[in-house]
Amino acid sequence: MAARGEFTEQTLEKFSLLLRRFARYAELRGAAVLADVTDQLVEDFVIAPGRSRHGHVTNAAVATMLLRRSVLRICYRTLRELGLSDADPTRDILLPARCPGQVRPLSEDEVIDLRHQASFVARPSRHGAAAALALAGGHSGEIGHIRVRDLDLAGRRVWMHGSSKVDARWCPLDDWSWNILKHRAQFVAARQLRPHLVPAARLAVSDRRAGDAQLQARACVALRDLLTRIGLGRDESVKPASITAWAGVEAFTVTERIEDAARRLGLRSLDRTATVIGHAWHTTPTRDEEEAEGEVDGA
């Protein structure tokens, strides 16, 4: 899982921790080898009570259950690709939505699936470039404006601009996005017959004459296509903006400062930022939020 570069360091650390907890849980339940793990055991782990950081045993929060299911879903996908299992014990585990009736950020397993789908192509594609820019924090109104000259590969960042609704800014690139955009820039440069035009070449939209509305529409089409490929095309709570919102969630997770999420997304309102990333920033942490990182009871 680590070798593919689809995980950030923080995500890999979190997923590894939960996989180790699942291994302990399965062992305590009598599963000595992979074949002993049943669908019921996996579901029991996902919904098991947990311990809050204060040591209290409570029912698992929705965020906790979604995270556990995400970890196991990615684990079993990897096992299938390695030929070690043909099972998917998470497929029938239904959990409540994070924010019913609203556009939500992608979850960690969905982001990994998105990277996975965008990577397995014959050549560096505009779909991959659009995904990389969105995961860096670019909005659909900005993605079509980003050109080769906006990339700072040495600084591992991209200058995001092109929308009057958000502030222009530098957005950091993780390893996956940096690699995707580097190869896309090289591909675009190789196809350009006039070298002096390379810096002005767009990364995610090829039409040089498209207007703002057309650029945004084409960026949305590319992102929707990827969302459909990973099975989220019919999820009404998932839109292209869900990919961008992930960047805000990631920034907030690292620093726990809503201002950093707003800066990453170029948003001028902290209230708007909190809505986009699904965070009740005016309130004190709830028991569910405290519990999200809690130990599985009995593991």
What is residue 283's predicted lDDT score, i.e. its pLDDT?
A: 47
Contact in structure between 21 and 293 (CB atoms under 8 Å): no
What is residue 9's predicted lDDT score, i.e. its pLDDT?
A: 80
What is residue 285's predicted lDDT score, i.e. its pLDDT?
A: 44
Q: How far is CA 271 from CA 54, 254, 275, in A?
A: 29, 19, 6
Helix (H) or strand (E) holding 264: helix 258-265
What is residue 244's predicted lDDT score, i.e. its pLDDT?
A: 98
CB-CB neighbours of 205 under 10 Å: 22
Give the helix, strand, coil percentages of the chain, each rounded to 5. 55, 5, 40
CA angle 182, 186, 190 (to 5 degrees): 170
Q: Look-up: residue for tokens 């299938």?
A: 80
What is residue 299's predicted lDDT score, i.e. its pLDDT?
A: 52
Q: Which CATH class is domain 108-277?
A: mainly alpha
What is residue 2's predicted lDDT score, i.e. its pLDDT?
A: 82
CB-CB neighbours of 196 under 10 Å: 7
CB-CB neighbours of 47 under 10 Å: 15
How far is residue 251's CA from residue 105's CA, in Å, rounded to a whole number? 13
Q: Per-10-residue mean pLDDT for the chain, 299 residues long?
A: 80 90 95 94 93 77 86 91 92 77 86 91 90 98 97 98 96 96 95 88 85 93 95 91 97 93 96 90 46 51
Six-digit token pair at 274?
């909190």
What is residue 72's predicted lDDT score, i.e. its pLDDT?
A: 94
Domain boundaries defined on the chain: 9-96, 108-277
What is residue 60's predicted lDDT score, i.e. its pLDDT?
A: 87
Q: What is the dihedral of CA 126, 132, 135, 139, to 10 degrees?
A: -40
What is residue 288's predicted lDDT score, i.e. its pLDDT?
A: 41
How far is residue 73's CA from residue 69's CA, in Å, rounded to a whole number? 6
What is residue 141's predicted lDDT score, i.e. its pLDDT?
A: 96
**This prediction's pTM:** 0.77
What is residue 18's predicted lDDT score, i.e. its pLDDT?
A: 93
Contact in structure between 198 and 148 (CB atoms under 8 Å): yes
